[in-house]
Amino acid sequence: MSWWLAARSIDHVVLERGEVANTWRTERWDSLTLLTPNWQSRLPGHGYEGDDPDGFRTMQETIAFIERYASLVPVSVRTHCPVTSVRSIGDGYQVVTQQGTWRCKAVVLATGAFNIAQVPKLSAELPSGIAQLNAAQYRNPEGLEAGGVMVVGAAASGAQIADELQRSGRPVTLVVGEHVRAPRMYRGRDIQWWMDASGLNDERYDQVENLRRARSLSSFQLAGYADRRNIDLNSLTSLGVKLVGRLAGVREGKVQFSGSLRNLCELADLKLNRLLNTFDDWAAANGVSDAVDPAHRPEPTRVEASPPLGLDLGRAGIRTIVWATGFRPDYSWLDVPVVDLKGNIRHDGGVVMESPGLYVMGLPFLRRRKSSLIDGVGDDARDLSAYLASHLGAQCTGK
Ligand SMILES: Cc1cc2nc3c(=O)[nH]c(=O)nc-3n(C[C@H](O)[C@H](O)[C@H](O)COP(=O)(O)OP(=O)(O)OC[C@H]3O[C@@H](n4cnc5c(N)ncnc54)[C@H](O)[C@@H]3O)c2cc1C
């Protein structure tokens, strides 16, 4: 956004509570690599320049990449400057920080989508001897107590953490809810190549049938490992990970699971096949079928005939629970009444219609399917900076 505001000669400041690339420094586990290939971290005015476009960045490389980008943007970031309040004043806003107060005509909220871990209330009923942490607190297998681990959630974070823990010798039970199965490679190309080339990543928020659902979908079961291995449920089962259905309750120290595992896996397989059909159709329509490997379909997800409906954590040797159940944004410092009861901001493609001059970005499917990817923010920032410029223009001319 700063790059686009500078390109439009709009005077602005960028306020950051920590360091540049703060979330990548403080909220990610040690072995994490981006699940998007290097070529797919395009930011305004900046493409990939290295010699490994198909590789996946480590956290250190990701931090260095964002730091470098920040140094290319004309306005430098004011770090260690937490915003504690934003309120409407006259025809603009007052922004209070620990480094002083600003008055401005417009504010862009770019504080991230993944601030507060969404941990189910029943976590409070679990036996006190079981250690609990969320995906942003997890660092590595050595940091956990000895013994088995229950990982709750089978999106990208949960599946990656389950893969790492099981490989480290910990027996893992993976609690599986609704999930999005995706192969790393399809017909010899990376899945992100297909998402990008077929235009699916560019699908707009005003083109999808059910936007609320599209915005709440979990991430692809995907990892950016050098061997390009899958981390879908079949791969995890082959490693020895035990699959169970959604968490349904806790009674007398025993955890109960719903009987939905088989249905959820069938649904994920069905949706995966639909996605692959879309790729095949696009390849045929665009004359690239011969340039890629032949079409194929992955083996359906293997689920045992009667997955357990309950588990005594103590008897099963489970000492730790990792909650990989998603995150939500934190707007506790926003004193403008535009947040709904679930804590989500009401906006139309990032424009907060109820409060002129207020914009938000970095949220899932904000304006496009790719909005919550590094690769997606550039186009969103371009669009939103145009709205912001026209808002300032209208204020100047009094319209
Ligand atoms: C585990 C995980 C893995 C991911 N992997 C990938 C991937 O492989 N590829 C990809 O493209 N995307 C990935 N993402 C998504 C990625 O996080 C987003 O694409 C990207 O971080 C969005 O950037 P952002 O600047 O909008 O938000 P964030 O990175 O969350 O940055 C928000 C910033 O706002 C600051 N902030 C928050 N509140 C305040 C305040 N009150 N005052 C001042 N500053 C504040 C924070 O310190 C932070 O630096 C991943 C996300 C997670 C959680």
Q: Whose CA is nearest to atom 13 of ligand 1?
A: 373
Q: What are phi and psi of 284, to 5 degrees?
A: -65, -40
Nearest atom within ligand 1 for CA of residue 83: 42
| pLDDT value at residue 49 | 86
* Spatial contact of 96 and 83, defined as CB atoms under 8 Å apart: yes
- Which residues, 6+ apart, have CB-to-CB distance to 346 below 8 Å? 338, 339, 340, 352, 353, 354
Residue 53 pLDDT exceeds 80: yes
399 has a pLDDT exceeding 70: no
Cβ atoms 280, 295 nearer than 8 A: yes
Q: Is 17 in the pocket of ligand 1 (CB under 6 A)?
A: yes
- Cα–Cα dist 287/279, whole Å: 12
Q: Is the CB of 23 under 6 A from ligand 1?
A: yes
Q: Which two tokens stand for residue 55?
A: 């590789």
> Coil, strand, or helix at residue 200?
helix
Do 239 and 166 meet the contact criterion of CB atoms below 8 Å apart? yes
Cα(182)–Cα(276) distance, integer angstroms:
9
Q: Which residues contact 306 (CB under 8 A, 6 or more apart)?
A: none
- Read off the tokens for 118: 């969404």
C-alpha of residue 170 to centroid of ligand 1, in Å: 30
Q: What is the pLDDT of residues 133-174, one digit of tens each?
A: 999 999 999 999 999 999 999 999 999 999 999 999 999 999
Residues 223 and 36 sit within 8 Å (Cβ to Cβ): no
Q: Would you say the pTM of this structure is higher than 0.85? A: yes
Which residues, at least 6 apart from 366, have a Cβ–Cβ distance to it below 8 Å? 205, 347, 349, 350, 360, 372, 380
Model confidence pLDDT, tens digit, residues 360-380 = 999 999 999 999 999 999 999
Does 286 score more than 80 pLDDT? yes
From residue 221, alpha-carbon distances to 40, 226, 381 in Å are 18, 16, 27
**Does residue 161 have its Cβ closer than 6 Å to ligand 1?**
no
pLDDT score of 398 more than 70 = no
The DSSP 8-state label assigned to residue 331 in this structure reads -
What is the share, in percent, of the chain residues with pLDDT greater than 90? 95
User: Is the distance from the beta carbon of residue 235 to the nearest atom of ligand 1 less than 6 Å?
Assistant: no
CB atoms within 10 A of CB 317: 12
Span 77-97, average pLDDT: 97
Q: What would the two tokens of residue 294 be?
A: 């032949």
CB atoms within 10 A of CB 134: 22
pLDDT on residue 52: 96
User: Which of 1, 138, 164, 373 for mutating ligand 1's site (highest number of atoms within 8 Å of CB)?
Assistant: 373
Q: How far is the CA of 140 from the centre of ligand 1 (A)?
A: 20
258 lines ligand 1 (CB under 6 A): no
- Counting ligand 1 atoms within 8 A of each CB, the residue from 1, 20, 22, 333 with the most, and so the one to mutate, is 22
Q: Is 92 helix (H, G, I), strand (E, B) or coil?
A: strand
* pLDDT in the model for residue 71: 95
Atom of ligand 1 nearest to the CA of 41: 11
pLDDT band at 76 (very low <50, low <70, confident <90, very high): confident
Nearest Cα residue to 385 out of 354, 350, 353: 350
Q: Whose structure tokens read 């409906």?
A: 309
Query: Ligand 1 mean position to 23 CA, how many Å?
Result: 5
pLDDT recorded at residue 191: 98
Residue 381's region, left for phi above 0, alpha for psi from -120 to 50, else beta, is alpha
Widest distance between CA atoms in the chain:
72
3-state helix, strand, coil in the chain (%, to 5): 30, 20, 45
Going by C-beta distance under 8 Å and a sequence separation of 6 or more, which residues neighbour residue 39? Answer: 47, 48, 53, 54
How confident is the model over 104-119, as pLDDT tens digits? 999 999 999 999 999 9
Strand pairing category for 92-97 and 83-89: antiparallel
CA distances from 28 to 135, 320, 356, 394 (A): 8, 18, 35, 42
What does the pLDDT look like over 209-260, one tens digit per residue?
999 999 999 999 999 999 999 999 999 999 999 999 999 999 987 999 999 9
What's the rounded mean pLDDT across residues 349-353? 98
Is the predicted pLDDT of residue 36 greater than 70, yes or no? yes
Distance from Cα 109 to the centre of ligand 1, integer Å: 12
CA of 92 to the centre of ligand 1 (A): 26
